[in-house]
Structure formats: C-alpha cells, structure tokens
Homo-oligomer: A and B are copies of this chain.
Amino acid sequence: MSKKIPIIHSTAVVAESRLFRIEALEIEFSGGQFRQYERLARNASMGAVLVVPMLDSHTVLLVREYAAGLHRYELGLPKGKIDAGEDSLAAANRELKEEVGFGANRLSHLHTVSLAPAYLEHTIDIILAQDLYPEKLLGDEPEELEVVPWNIYQIDQLLATGECSEARSIAALYMAAEYLRKC
C-alpha cells in the first residue's frame, strides 16, 4: 500500500539552460517533516525510446556511441527522443533506421523505466524490435555509429568488457532476454 503522497508547497526554477531546467521544491511529508528538494526537468521533451533490435532469435544489435557525460565511448542500445507527432513505436523505428540501418516489422513496448526518480523526471520507453529489414535513414549523429552484434543471453560477458555501463541498456537487455525466453 502506498503512503499518502507528500505535498509540494512551492516550485521555483532556480537554473535553466538550453536543454535543462532545475527546479527547487518545498515538500511536506505526511508525518509533518519539511524538506527542500531539487529536481531536473528536460526542456521541451516529449519522452524518449530505447530500442532492443533483434537480428535473429538471440542476436541483439548494439551501438558504440560517444557519451559526453562520461567522455568515452559506450556500448549500448540505440536510443533517442520522441519527435513531435510520433508515438514511441514510430520513434523507435526511426531511431533504429538512423542509428543501426534497419527497420522493424514488429515493435513491442516492454516497459517504461525511469533514470533516477528521486531527482529526474525523465523516463524512457523500452521497445523490442523484431523482424528487421535493411533501411537507412540519415539522422543527426555527428559520426556514423559502429554496430556491434551481441548474443543477448551473454549479458555477463558484455558487462565484463567494461564498455557497457548504462543501467537503462542493462535493464532493457535483461528484460528482453527474459521476454524472449518465454516466447
């Protein structure tokens, strides 16, 4: 059973950039305690998608992409923002074409995950893409992404490379592997 949700008494934008907005919240918990919180919102965001593209029953297509937050290349799942007028399945198919060079005849929503719900409002839809066909769309990537096929049932070995750290990609791979095992 959920507790009574705390009351947000005030919200103020304390800092803002092109992409982000930091809000300060004054929050009262049901027991009477007050706290100052900060949370981060993304400006003009319509959500995002993370795609699990299956080339065959066990081969997932990963991409190696520069990650500015860590200033290194990261091996993970293709992803991107949902554009205006798109639903998450259409966005997943477009990102797949742009980043991996495939479209999918079958797209399934597996789950929606959050990143750090304590201070981020961001969520991302995890979309399983199956029955792929070659199709390349030009995206806004600053360089061609390297596509790396991987056995989805060998997630341990992927983690051991030290190149895959993103919790969203790791969670999505485990979820997809469990889903596929049951199919």
Contact = CB atoms under 8 A, between A and B. Distances in A.
Interface of A: 2-3, 5-6, 8, 14-20, 22, 24-25, 27, 29-31, 33-35, 37-40, 64-74, 111-124, 142-144, 146, 155-156, 159, 163, 165-168, 170-172, 174-175, 178
A20 B113 CA distance: 22
Contacts of A34: 142
A38 B17 contact: yes
Main secondary structure of the interface of A (DSSP, over half): mixed
A99 to B, nearest CB: 13
Given A22-B17, A35-B142, A166 B69 contact: no
A16 B17 CA distance: 9
A119 B38 contact: no
Contacts of A68: 25, 27, 37, 39, 118-119
Nearest to A76: B117
Nearest to A146: B3
Contact of A6 (B24, B66, B118, B167): B66
A72 to B, nearest CB: 7
A116 B64 contact: no
Contacts of A124: 167
A124 to B, nearest CB: 8
15 contacts: A3-B146, A5-B66, A6-B66, A14-B18, A19-B38, A29-B143, A33-B143, A67-B114, A69-B117, A69-B122, A115-B115, A117-B166, A156-B178, A159-B175, A171-B174
Nearest to A68: B37
Contacts of A25: 68
